[in-house]
Structure 1
Amino acid sequence: MAAGISYDDVEVGTELPPQSFPVGRGDLVRYAGASGDFNPIHWNPRFAVEVGLPDVIAHGMFTMAEAVRVVTDWVGDPGAVVEYSVKFTRPVVVPDPEGAVVEVTGKVAQKLDDRRVRVDLHVTCGDAGKVLGVPRAVVQLA
């Protein structure tokens, strides 16, 4: 059950605090180690360019995980997220050394039964624009 946020106190349209998530090559290496996804498009710029990418790109699941942090930080309990889905629309290109920044905003879009709310996210990265399509989470509130 979510800590601190009551279903009765949340309205449709409630905005979650926006967040920015810097992404560097080191983050991608650490994520590769944790996930076991060592695809060279995530760490080898020569390979990434050879397969048609502009540079190394972040793992899609890494981007997805960073985005949902807006929801888990707002609700205060990662276990309160009972559903989460996205569509991958554009890659997050991570140039070296400057990296990239993923920008995330969220809004309560719907109040559901059983003290749950649906939160819709908007996830962008620089010139790429929207990098996740239809990102939404269902959260169990107190």
Structure 2
Amino acid sequence: MTGSALLEVVVDVVALVGRILFAAIFLGSSVAHFTQSEGMGALVESKGLPAGRLLVLVSGVLIALGGLMIVLGVWADLGALFVLAFTLPTAFLVHAFWKETDPMAKQNEMVNFMKNLSISGGALLFFSLYAGHAHDLGLTITGPLFG
């Protein structure tokens, strides 16, 4: 095996590990969306959103599909958009720290807002990488849906 072939294998494995680590939060959270939908729905409604339980269940499906698509490399670009469709609205609608008056609650919501904003950036990066360069990122089941 040549040096460049070995490097390609290493890069492919690192990309796979990165996909698994990135998607782990969504796969774990999707389980909570289904098993704790009542409580999570009440939290969503307390933030002023309607049909909290339904939103929790729909978002659970969205992040489960997105996470699985990213891990398996099945239209990973679309999976990244599914994740983005969850994290970006959640940052602004659920973790609106600027609405909090209690300092501890404000800090907690700010941390979660920034986490979701950061993950949204990662999802956009995943989308651009897999939509534009998936043929160079091995260990996927399919190519990109877009691109």
Establish whether TM, by shorter chain, passes 0.5.
Answer: no
Higher strand content, 1 or 2: 1
Alignment TM-score, normalising by the size of structure 1 = 0.27
Larger-Rg structure: 2
Alignment TM-score, normalising by the size of structure 2 = 0.26
Higher helix content, 1 or 2: 2
Which structure ranks higher in relative contact order (CA pairs < 8 Å, sequence separation ≥ 6)? Answer: 1
